[in-house]
Amino acid sequence: MDSVLSEAKKTLKSCGIERPGLEVNILLEHCVGCSLEKILAASKKTLDNDTKKKFFELLERRVLGEPLDYVCERSFFYSKEFAISKGVFIPRSDTEVLVRAVLVEINKEFFSKPVILDMCSGSGCVGLTLAAESECKMVYLADKSAVAVSCAVKNQKALGLERKTKMVQSDLFDSLPEIKFEYIVSNPPYVSKAEFELLDKSVKDFEPSEALLSPEGGFSHIKKIAKDARSFLRPGGKVFFEVGASQGKKVCEILVSLGYDEVELLPDLNKIDRVVVAKWKN
């Protein structure tokens, strides 16, 4: 087995993978179906031919640039494991800033046991994390993509959150029930066409463009969600948007023009404007 792993590490290193040893271990764990510790502790430290074949098939996908999360069908967000599949946007650690901002607001207890909407929910990482980490009453997760909703349902069940969350396939607000939310949270598509062309190939060639691209220079989805959210928010409720690195001030202006107030711009760990929060008037 050592020779197989050594060969795999060299292959990934030659392709410019930054942490080839770690990735090889992750691929091996996925292939065998147990932790590396258990694999190394086994009395028989050899891979059978079927396992070896599968391992090198997965390795080849990684060599061709496919993100490791898709290859291993899992991703990690807020210290939780989420199933992920092709056609579903891969969770990013930057989005944890969005989750933390909402949790801080919930902990202020302005609303008792709030009802929350996660718009453009993708894998469900934001909405499901909020449901798991707070005393909210219910979290609705909405996404246009059937593939994304199916993935989110899988994560909902894995985390045991069926009673606290509801999945809705909806083109933005079109198919949502007519209820009021205390908080509407969204990590929407916000990448402009020009920015999309500059993205890394691992993103541009493998992740769903519909989860990234937004017309009007990247602002179309944010404008539409902010406009329609006014009919779905309780007085005093808030919207939370993740935004692109250069979009914060413009999004603040959009929200003010739509009648929101108490607009805030929050930075991520790299001090880049990442989250915009605004309150719907009382």
Which domains occur in the chain, in start order?
2-64 (1.10.8), 86-279 (3.40.50.150)
What is the reported pLDDT for 42?
Answer: 64
What is the reported pLDDT for 6?
Answer: 87
Greatest Cα-to-Cα distance within the chain, rounded to the nearest angstrom: 67
Outline where the chain has alpha helix (H).
2-14, 20-32, 36-41, 49-63, 68-72, 96-107, 125-133, 146-158, 193-197, 201-204, 215-218, 220-229, 248-257
Q: Please, what are the averages of pLDDT over each run of 10 residues along the chain (282 residues)? A: 84 91 90 75 70 91 95 95 96 96 94 96 98 96 98 98 97 95 98 95 95 97 98 97 96 97 93 95 76
Other Cβ atoms less than 10 A from the Cβ of 84: the count is 25
pTM: 0.93
For residues 129, 131, 134, 137, the Cα torsion angle rounded to the nearest 10 degrees is 160
The pair of three-digit structure tokens given for residue 242, joined into one six-digit string: 């993740």
- Whether the CB-CB separation of 184 and 229 falls below 8 Å is answered with yes
Q: How far apart are the C-alpha atoms of 106 and 37, rounded to whole Å?
A: 40
